[in-house]
């Protein structure tokens, strides 16, 4: 193989791959889908950057690529079908263009040396797109476009309905009235995807998860969604101190209070931030207005009170408050493990280890339940 033909083969593969993936991405964007990542080429990675809320990765070898979506929260079957079909359609268009170019330059040896490898590459692209199979790229087993298209056609229900319900469950604890009027945006889809990814993959990088959520604050989300993010970030900071966004917690928690000044849950979170910062008097005053109706909130706010009392120099009162928070948490069996982690962290910060049992107490034997 001549050097010219080899260079043509390499460059043609990159051109064909780029056109294919851009067709997916542009069609998806025009169809209202949210593009999460574009990958062109495989390792070693030459370039990685972020633009228009999309991670873009370019590798050295033109042996594979892909375009990933954020999980949609709006009906998406037809849009996803158009998104998947765009790549193979672009392959066909580029194939026809190459055929036409060859017919126009069949007597030119140099042109043929360039176009023939490009045509071979394009035939391979068409086969890989249209043959229903799996391929291994980026350490994943990924379906071809035809197989992906076929799977979407066979879906009994649009998964967007499930994703939207899961997302609304996440928001429901804050303000149900605003939830009923919430229209999911592209930002909503990005946030929902981040939450679901963390829920499904416990090994996901927590730092990357936090940074992704921080990027979304102030980018067109509804007040309800921003408050849910901020409250979750505060809980995360309490469970995993110290945190890389420690300096931002004060401003974030104050922003949440500004968005929903009457939401008692946020006052407890804000008090936790103030207590961690040593502003104990402000924290104690805010905790007087916090949420105490739900058992889980009552337990956490009592623990935050312990933290504020500790910083105020009232160690005995702090220990008593933390013991009380453990007793309250025992009443909330579904949230026992989650709450126990937080109370243990508070205990470490005040230098006191409360008396935890491995599990909440079982109901007494012989107790009859009322019908």
Tens-place pLDDT, residues 266-282: 898 899 899 888 888 99
The pLDDT value recorded for residue 120 is 92
Q: Are 8 and 22 in contact (CB under 8 A)?
A: no
Strand partners, 141: 136
Q: How confident is the model at residue 57 (pLDDT cuts 50, 70, 90)?
A: very high
Token couple for 14: 């990159």
Q: Which of 215, 197, 281, 276 is nearest to 240 (CA)?
A: 276
Q: Which of 156, 140, 244 is nearest to 201 (CA)?
A: 140
The pLDDT value recorded for residue 202 is 61
- pTM > 0.85: yes or no: no
Q: Is the pLDDT of residue 101 over 50?
A: yes
Q: How confident is the model at residue 357 (pLDDT cuts 50, 70, 90)?
A: low
Using DSSP, state whether 61 is helix, strand or coil: strand
Q: How confident is the model at residue 254 (pLDDT cuts 50, 70, 90)?
A: very high
- HSE of 265, CA atoms in CB hemisphere, 13 A: 19
Mean pLDDT score of the chain, rounded to an integer? 86
Q: Taking residues 37-48, what's their average pLDDT?
A: 92
Q: Is the pLDDT of residue 251 over 60?
A: yes
Residues 6+ apart with CB under 8 A from 32: 74, 79
The pLDDT value recorded for residue 366 is 41
Q: How confident is the model at residue 111 (pLDDT cuts 50, 70, 90)?
A: confident
Q: Taking residues 338-367, what's their average pLDDT?
A: 70
Among the ranges given (44-48, 134-138, 364-368), the one the predictor scored with the smallest mean pLDDT: 364-368
Q: How confident is the model at residue 360 (pLDDT cuts 50, 70, 90)?
A: very low
The pLDDT value recorded for residue 107 is 78
The pLDDT value recorded for residue 2 is 77
Q: Taking residues 287-302, what's their average pLDDT?
A: 86
> For residues 317, 321, 327 and 333, what is the CA-based torsion angle, rounded to 10 degrees?
-160
End-to-end CA distance of the chain: 84
Among the ranges given (62-71, 106-115, 295-304), the one the predictor scored with the smallest mean pLDDT: 106-115
Q: Is the pLDDT of residue 361 over 50?
A: no
The pLDDT value recorded for residue 367 is 37
Using DSSP, state whether 41 is helix, strand or coil: strand
Rounded CA-CA distance 28/80 in Å is 7
The pLDDT value recorded for residue 1 is 52
Q: Which residue has the higher pLDDT, 314 or 106?
A: 314
Question: Per residue in 185-232, pLDDT tens?
Answer: 899 999 999 888 877 766 677 888 888 898 898 888 899 999 999 988
């Amino acid at each position: 193989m001549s050097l010219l033909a080899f260079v043509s083969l390499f460059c043609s593969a990159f051109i064909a791959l780029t056109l294919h993936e851009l067709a997916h991405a542009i069609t998806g964007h025009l169809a209202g889908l949210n593009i999460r990542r574009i990958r062109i080429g495989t390792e070693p990675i030459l370039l990685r950057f972020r633009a228009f809320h999309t991670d873009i990765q370019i590798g050295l070898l033109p042996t594979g690529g892909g375009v990933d979506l954020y999980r949609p929260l709006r009906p998406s079957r037809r849009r996803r079908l158009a998104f998947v079909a765009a790549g193979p359609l672009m392959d066909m268009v580029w194939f026809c263009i190459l055929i036409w170019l060859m017919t126009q330059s069949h007597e030119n040896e140099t042109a043929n040396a360039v176009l023939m490898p490009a045509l071979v590459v394009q035939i391979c692209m068409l086969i890989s797109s249209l043959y229903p199979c799996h391929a291994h790229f980026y350490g994943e087993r990924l379906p071809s476009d035809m197989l992906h298209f076929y799977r979407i056609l066979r879906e009994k229900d649009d998964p967007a309905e499930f994703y939207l319900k899961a997302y609304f469950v996440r928001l429901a604890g804050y303000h149900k009235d605003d939830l009923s009027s919430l229209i999911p945006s592209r930002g909503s889809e990005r946030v929902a995807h981040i939450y679901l990814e963390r829920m499904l993959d416990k090994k996901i990088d927590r730092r990357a998860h936090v940074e992704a959520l921080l990027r979304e604050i102030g980018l067109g989300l509804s007040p309800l969604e921003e408050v849910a993010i901020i409250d979750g970030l505060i809980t995360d900071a309490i469970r995993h101190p110290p945190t890389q966004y420690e300096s931002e917690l004060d401003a974030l928690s104050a922003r949440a209070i500004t968005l929903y000044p009457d939401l008692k849950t946020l006052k407890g979170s804000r008090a936790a931030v103030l207590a961690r910062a040593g502003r104990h008097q402000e924290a104690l005053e805010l905790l007087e207005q916090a949420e105490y109706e739900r058992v889980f909130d009552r337990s956490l706010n009592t623990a935050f009170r312990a933290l504020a009392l500790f910083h105020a120099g009232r160690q005995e009162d702090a220990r008593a408050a933390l013991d009380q928070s453990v007793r309250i948490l025992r009443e909330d069996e579904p949230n026992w493990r989650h709450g126990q982690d937080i109370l243990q962290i508070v205990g470490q910060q005040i230098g006191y280890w409360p008396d935890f049992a491995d599990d909440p107490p079982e109901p007494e034997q012989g107790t009859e339940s009322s019908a």
